[in-house]
Chains A and B, each alone.
Chain A
Amino acid sequence: MKPKRYDVAIVGSGFSGIVAANTLADHNLNVVLLDENIHIGGQILRTIPEQLGTHTVSESDKVRKTGFRFIENIKQKKITVMNQTVVLAIYPERELLVEENEKSVFTIRPEVILFATGARERFLPFKGWTLPGVISTGAVQVLMKSSGILFSKKILIGGSGLFLFAVAHDFVKNGGSVVAVLEQTSMIAKLALLTQVSHQFSKLTEGARYISKLVFSGVPIRHRTKIIEARGDQYVQEVLTAKVDQKGAVRKGSERIYQTSALAIGYGFTPNIELPQLAGCELEYEEGKGGWVVKVTDALETSVQNVYAAGEITGIAGALKSLNEGVLAALSILKKLEKIEEREFLPQFQRITTQRRHHLSFGNYFNALYRIPDEAISLIPDETVICRCEDVTMGNIKNALSDGFQTPGAIKRATRIGMGRCQGRICGSVLYDIVAAYTKKPGSRIPLLSVRPPVKPVSLGSLVAGHEECEANTGATLHGGG
């Protein structure tokens, strides 16, 4: 089958994706917006779908309202939106192999690709984190926002990062009760941060608003407190926690048990770099950006010609940076395709680039603050499952390390970690941290796991359906081997 042609293919319909799509479509470019989810908008712009019903007391902040307006605009414009569509592979000449709706597989060949694949949550495994009832803070948010369901009437929230407070806040607002919010990072470190990022006043007040609302609704907030173990027979029933010192070691006698059937965990975010990696885009490691990110020029072009990246994958810094980079990427693409003049381009480019720098510096401090310390990694007990898909434990990884398997790729082949269905998307970042902690190398020297097509599992049925369509259209047959 002939590939479908477009001027620009945008992968990911979060903030960056929808903002860029709007601008590009305004200049009469033929845009296709690909997204794996049921609805466009990514993670931040989730809302109760129209066919489900209406939220009677929902309120959105300014940023989200802006986002929803962009989504409305997309519906009015001539933009091809493909929901529930997964990019399976990227071949030379920007050819994308995609699967739509778990049914048909076909190829798309755009002039320009914009990756706006966002981020996913990262985790610090502890004993029992595989028990049903232990869920990510993101999932709690998704269930509330997209399906109108509380994960549980009562929930314990733990981990690190501001997102814990945002989720706790929304949970209480929707009628749930929060047992406590346990935050690994110390209060003092947070206060120290305030002075450094005071120019981002609006973001700070937002954080402060969440926390003060929680305090007023009587939710206990415990700093420098870590989840040690989730216990239960088949389901989580109780959670053991303890206070930790600055280095992450448990302070004896500070242990405490919470009785709960629901525990939400989150430890910050890690960029979804698999597709750009597969496309051959150069990556860079920067702690201030949240680890491995896609390396981009000031115009957001990657090391591969005509392939751009925007949003969390160029550095974790939140919705405003993604919005900003969506505009920037669109502008750069328009310039590249000669749709706007230099004199129109330059002033806008300079203005947005300055804003971008502010967002990046804000992200910098946050990523440094919420970095998982090496000590916390070395303290993971041997029986803790690291790879949930393949049941690979910390002990298995340590054994592999002492047997001489010193890179993530080698440990993967030795233990099967990262070979399961999620393809290392959950355990990968933990594995990098473990290898860095044990080999005493900086994160930048730890080689990433390789990415191969299909990037996400695909049923043979879809491939065959795509092939049959291909045969019908061209008369060609698929040859095996090679």
Chain B
Amino acid sequence: MAIVLGGILQECVHLVAEERTIVWTESRLQILYYREAMMEDLRIPTIVRKETVTIFVNGKETRAYKGETVLAALHAAGYRILNRSRDIGEGRGPLCGMGVCYGCLVSIKGIQNQRSCMIEVEEEMEITTDET
């Protein structure tokens, strides 16, 4: 009896774990698809830009321009979810864009919870978001 119950329990745990993996992979894929779709050029063409800088977002080499905020550079590269809400873990992005709402927090140069709208990009800057 106990063995059967144990077996069922194990099976259940396995199923739940598997389900999670599938959900995780799906959401990950969705985010990747979305970013691909968002990769259209959002930089206003009538602005003549000067100097490019290379930043690393979650390890991925990304182009940005000197003078842009980290938030702007992330947004232009298609990053929409920057962090997760505290209680229910929903993906969140910026709201106010001017340092009030703390919705654009990311990790910059190894320091967590930085307001990406209040900091300009720098060459070789490493940024980590909390997408998945």
Contacts and interface: CB of A to CB of B under 8 A. Distances in A.
Contacts, number: 163
Contacts of B81: 132, 234-235
Nearest to A137: B97
A38 B118 contact: yes
A168 to B, nearest CB: 16
B86 A390 contact: yes
Contact of B72 (A50, A143, A175): A143
B90 A53 contact: no
B15 to A, nearest CB: 23
A135 B31 contact: no
A148 B47 contact: yes
A132 B92 contact: yes
Using C-beta atoms within 8 Å of the partner chain, give the interface range for chain B: 35 or more
A161 B85 CA distance: 29
Interface string A392-421: 000000000000000000000000000011
A48 B49 CA distance: 10
A38 B69 contact: yes
B42 A152 contact: yes
Contact of A420 (B49, B65, B76, B102): B102
Interface in A30-65: 36-38, 43, 48-57
A36 B118 contact: yes
Contacts of A76: none
Interface string B16-31: 0000000000010011
A103 B65 CA distance: 24
A120 B76 CA distance: 24
A422 B102 contact: yes
B99 A37 contact: yes
Interface in B77-132: 80-82, 85-88, 90-103, 105, 111, 113-114, 117-120
A329 B37 CA distance: 51
Contacts of A55: 46-47
Interface in A115-172: 120-121, 130, 132-136, 138-144, 146-153
Contacts of B42: 149-153
10 contacts: A52-B47, A53-B67, A132-B93, A133-B93, A136-B96, A141-B97, A147-B72, A234-B81, A388-B85, A389-B85
